[in-house]
Structures are given as C-alpha cells and as structure tokens.
Amino acid sequence: MSILNLTPDSFYDGGSNSNADRLLKKVETDLSSGAGILDLGAWSSRPGSIPISVAQEWARLEPALKSIRKNFPDAIISIDTYRAEIVTMAAAEGADMINDISAGNLDENMLESVANSGLPYVLMHMRGNSLTMTELNDYDDLLTDISKFFRDTLEIVRQAGITDIILDPGIGFSKKMNQSFELLARLTELKLFDLPILVGLSRKSMIAKLLNTDTAHALNGTTAAHMIALENKASILRVHDVKEAAEAIKIFKTCKQFSA
C-alpha cells in the first residue's frame, strides 16, 4: 500500500504531492514499482496535528481522487479518513477501500457510511485523537488490551453491516517506542481473528529514535522492520518507499518457498 499524502504537514512527505502532475507521476512510479493499493490521505494523523474541516479535507481529496481514477482506472484506491461524509463522497467518485484510524470512534455516522458504501474497511487500534493519543499509552498487557479492543470493535462493526475487514494494530498510535516494537514482535498474536493485518511502520519515529537518526534516513531501518512484520504474518505493508518494500516482499516470499 503506497502512502499518498495530500497534506502540507505530514511527518515525512508533507506537501510533496500537492502538485497534480507530480502526484500522477508518483502514482505511475509506485504502481510500476509494485504498489497494489494507493492510500490517499487529505489530513495529517501525526501526533499533535490539528483536525481540519470536512470541506478542507474534501477540497484536497476530490481532485486527486478524480485524477487518479481517470488516469489509472484499474488502480485500487484507498481513502484514509475517519469522516462519514468523506466516505460517502469518495465512494461515489470510485474509491475502493476505506482506511480509518479511529475504528469508527471519531464520527458516530462512520460505520453506517462505510456499510452503505459496501467497501472493504481497515480498522485501526488507537486511543483518543491526534491531540491526545500520546498521553493514552498505559496498558495492562499490550497485546491483550489490543485484542480486546478488536474483539469488541469487530462485533460493533459487523453489526453495522461491514463484512470485508482488515485490522491495523496502530503502530506508533497511542504507543510508546518500546510498545510499538513489542507490538511488532508479537504481531502474530493478532492472527486469532483470522483477518488480514495491515502494518504501518514506514519511516516512523520509533525507528528513527532507536537508530539515532531522522525520518529522512530511516529507510534501512524501515526495511528491517518490514521483514519482521512479514515474518510475523503481516498481510499489507503501508509504505512511503514502494520499490524497496516490494523488493523486501519478493525476497521474503522467495525464501519462504524453501522453509519447512
């Protein structure tokens, strides 16, 4: 899954896709490099970011979605949003998937809107919102608490009529650095739900801090983390660097052919 941020303030590539021609070139490159899904985000979910209005989010998202759908009709397009209105409008413009960091907890109409769209739904574990998540990181047992969250939330999501579901454990969201690495190391425990697992590790601060570097120089660490995620049963990698991630997947799959 290729990350296509349409925001000026995302933690790594903010503003890089604001130009329409540059965005289409990025899409073309990512698809040819192995991206299976394009994830469009028109608002920043980084800790401390200030929420924007629905109108602002759609003003950024609409032209990009229309342009990509027109120029790459076969591409699978995911929409990174937690807002019901955005889901409805994006679905009408040809979106293929909804990626919701809030699991329906930041908009009371979100699950109904997703159910009406009939689109696959990524639900993520997070506590609070972008302004409060960094303070909400106390757990009795990290994986037990996250598993309970998914168990309870899946019941609600399915009751709403959503059946095609992907889980995202929310690495880096309402979790300290060591908690994020623990989550990565114990990722296989989430296979008890028998659902695909999406992992977002790309150039995150947990990697940069551990390696005493910055996000611009965190690609090598990201690739190492991706290999661990694949070994621990991740189904989808959400990435900034598609070519490198696709190469890691190819190596992983090739080696798996020879394992017992």
Catalytic residue numbers? 204, 238
Burial of 159 (0-12, 13-18, 19+ CB in 10 A): exposed
Going 208 to 212 to 214 to 218, the CA torsion angle's sign is: negative
Selection from 97, 79, 72 nearest residue 162 by Cα: 97
Helix (H, G, I), strand (E, B) or coil at 197: strand
Helix axes 84-92, 110-117, angle to 10 degrees: 20
Dig out the tokens for 25 from the structure. 């070139």
Look at the block and give the residue holding tokens 């979100």: 110
The answer to whether 222 and 215 are in contact (CB under 8 A) is no
Dig out the tokens for 247 from the structure. 């190469």
Any idea what DSSP says for residue 52?
A: P
Dig out the tokens for 120 from the structure. 């696959």
